A and B are shown apart, each in its own frame.
Chain A
Amino acid sequence: MGSDKSSAWKERAASLRAPSRDMGQPHWMDVDGIRTRYFEAGTGEPVVLFHGGNAGSWLDVTDCLCWDMTLPPLSTQVNCVAVDRLGQGFTDNPKTDGDYTMHASVQHAASFLRKLGKGPYHLVGHSRGGYLVCRLALEYPELAKTCVIISSGTLSPGPLRNPIWLGKPPRPVKTRESMRWVLQRYSYSPRIVTEAWLDECVAVAESEREQIVTRKMVEGLDKSLYAPELRRQRLETQRWILERGLPCPTLVVWGVNDRTADFENGKILVEMLMRKQPKTEVRLFNQAGHFVYREQAEGFNGMLLDYVRSNS
Chain B
Amino acid sequence: MPLQQYGEKWMDVGGIRTRYFEAGSGEPVLMMHGGTIGDASGAANAEEWEHNFPAIVEAGYRAIAVDKLGQGYTGNPLRDEDYSMRGQVAHMAQFMKALGHSAFHLIGHSRGGYVACRLTLEYPELVSSCVIVDSNTCAPGMGRNEIVFACNPHPQGSREASKWIFQGYSYRHDHVTDEWLSAVEKILAQEKYQVAVRKMNKEGLADTVFSPSLCHDRDELFARLEDQGLLRPILLIWAFNDPTATMDQGYRLYDLIARHQARCQMHVVNEAGHFSYREQPAAFNRVVKEFLQGVAHGI
Contacts and interface: CB of A to CB of B under 8 A. Distances in A.
Interface of A: 1-3, 5-6, 9-10, 13, 16-17, 256, 267, 270, 274, 277-287, 298-299, 302-303, 306-307, 310
Contacts of A3: 60
26 contacts: A1-B58, A3-B60, A5-B59, A10-B297, A13-B294, A13-B299, A16-B299, A17-B297, A256-B258, A267-B247, A270-B240, A279-B270, A281-B267, A281-B268, A281-B270, A282-B266, A283-B265, A285-B265, A286-B261, A286-B264, A298-B299, A299-B265, A302-B290, A302-B294, A306-B286, A310-B282
A286 B264 CA distance: 6
Contact of A286 (B247, B258, B271, B282): B258
Nearest to A270: B268
Closest 8 CB pairs of A and B: A2-B60, A282-B268, A284-B266, A13-B297, A280-B270, A286-B258, A286-B264, A278-B271
Interface in B223-282: 240, 247, 251, 254-255, 258, 261-271, 282
Contacts of B268: 270, 281-283
B182 interface: no
B211 interface: no
A146 B283 CA distance: 14
Given A2-B26, A2-B59, A303-B290, A284 B254 contact: yes
State the majority secondary structure of interface residues on A: helix
Given A3-B60, A286-B258, A286-B263, A299 B299 contact: yes
A305 to B, nearest CB: 9
Contact of B294 (A5, A284, A299): A299
Given A5-B59, A310-B286, A283 B26 contact: no
Nearest to B259: A286
Contacts of B261: 286
Interface in B1-58: 24-26, 57-58
Nearest to A277: B270
B177 interface: no
Given A281-B268, A285-B265, A13 B240 contact: no
Given A267-B251, A280-B270, A5 B60 contact: yes
Contacts of B289: 306
Contact of B265 (A270, A277, A278, A284): A284
A6 B297 CA distance: 12
Contacts of A282: 266-268
Contacts of B94: none
Contacts of A1: 58
A5 to B, nearest CB: 6
A281 B293 contact: no
Contacts of A307: 286
Nearest to A267: B251
Given A5-B59, A10-B297, A299-B265, 16 more contacts: A2-B61, A6-B26, A6-B60, A256-B255, A270-B240, A270-B268, A278-B270, A282-B266, A283-B267, A283-B268, A285-B265, A286-B261, A298-B297, A299-B294, A302-B290, A302-B299
B153 interface: no
A270 B240 CA distance: 9
Contacts, number: 84
Instruction: Summarize B's interface: helix, strand, loop or mixed.
Output: mixed
Contacts of A303: 290
B205 to A, nearest CB: 38
Interface string B194-225: 00000000000000000000000000000000
The interface centre, meaning the residue of B59, B261, B290, B298 with most chain A CB atoms within 10 A of its CB, is B290
Nearest to A287: B262
A286 B25 contact: no
A254 B9 CA distance: 42
Contact of A17 (B24, B59, B263, B298): B298
A307 B263 CA distance: 20
Given A5-B59, A303-B290, A274 B270 contact: yes
Nearest to B25: A2
A18 B293 CA distance: 16
B266 A274 contact: no
Contacts of A310: 282-283, 286
A2 B299 contact: no
In this complex, which of B60, B269, B270 has the most chain A Cβ atoms within 10 angstroms of its Cβ? B270
B26 to A, nearest CB: 6
Nearest to B240: A274
Contacts of B294: 13, 298-299, 302
A299 B290 CA distance: 9
Given A2-B58, A6-B60, A13-B293, A286 B265 contact: yes
Contacts of A286: 258, 261-265
Contacts of B258: 256, 286-287
A256 B60 contact: no
Nearest to B293: A9
Nearest to B262: A287
A302 B293 contact: yes
A256 B299 contact: no
Contacts of A278: 270-271
A298 B299 CA distance: 6
Contacts of A283: 265-268
Contacts of B282: 310
A280 B261 CA distance: 26
A306 B285 CA distance: 11
B239 to A, nearest CB: 11
Nearest to A10: B297
Contacts of B270: 274, 277-281
